Structures are given as structure tokens and as C-alpha cells.
Amino acid sequence: MKRVAILLCLAALALSFPASLLFAQEAEAAAPAAASDGGTAVWKYFAAALAVGISCIAGGLAVGQIGTAAMGAMSENPELSGKALPYAGLAEGICLWGFLVALLILVL
């Protein structure tokens, strides 16, 4: 429940800032381009930040759950240590995919 409340507070804080304050230098330098762009540049950065942020939070939660279960299993049977490592790697891969999606959003 605390996690949901923290995420909602962070989302409300992020949405309360005007885009002109967050990207002031970019807005001054590319004012004519932004007018013809239709405001999609701001949403592009916002989408990239959400892709990385949500995937890293989810990856951290997954690694925490897997690590807890792996330590419990290894305390009963030490031979399971090698079998738990790939699952932690798969959970960390979630963060990598979020970064790749954000990179594609920003480049394309």
C-alpha cells in the first residue's frame, strides 16, 4: 500500500510541473520547431521517462522477490544457488528492455 501511495505522489508531483519549466532551455532554442511539432516533443520525453521508471521499479520488485525466495531455498538446500541466478538475471532484464524502449522512443 505504501508503494502505491508513493508512486501516486511522485506521479502527481511530476504532472504538476509545467513543461516550460522542465524544458526551458530547449523551449527557448527551438521555439519555432515546437510550434510546428504540436507538442509531441514533451510527450516523447515523458513517455521515455515512464518506460525507464516503471520498468526499473518493476525489475527491482522482481529481483527483491526472487532474491528472498532464493535465499530461503538455499538455506534449506545449498545446491540450489546456481539455479536461482538465471531467474534474477531475467528479472534484471526487465530494466534493460525499459531502457531500450525509451531509447527507441527518443531516437525515432
Is the pLDDT higher at 98 or at 16? 98
Give one DSSP letter per residue of 13-39, joined into a string: HHHHS-HHHHTHHHHHHTHHHHHHHTS
CA gap 27, 73 in Å, rounded: 54
- Phi-psi category of 90—alpha, beta or left, where left has phi over 0 and alpha has psi -120 to 50? alpha
Q: What is the pLDDT of residues 27-82, one digit of tens each?
A: 555 555 545 556 778 899 999 999 999 999 999 999 999 999 988 998 998 888 78
Determine the pLDDT at residue 58.
94
The predicted pLDDT at position 81 comes to 79
A 10 A CB-CB count for 34 gives 17
Domains and CATH numbers, the chain: 40-108 (1.20.20.10)
pTM: 0.61
* Structure confidence at residue 36 (pLDDT): 55
How many residues does the structure list for the chain? 108
**Under 8 Å CB-to-CB from 98, ≥6 apart: which residues?**
51, 52, 53, 54, 55, 56, 59
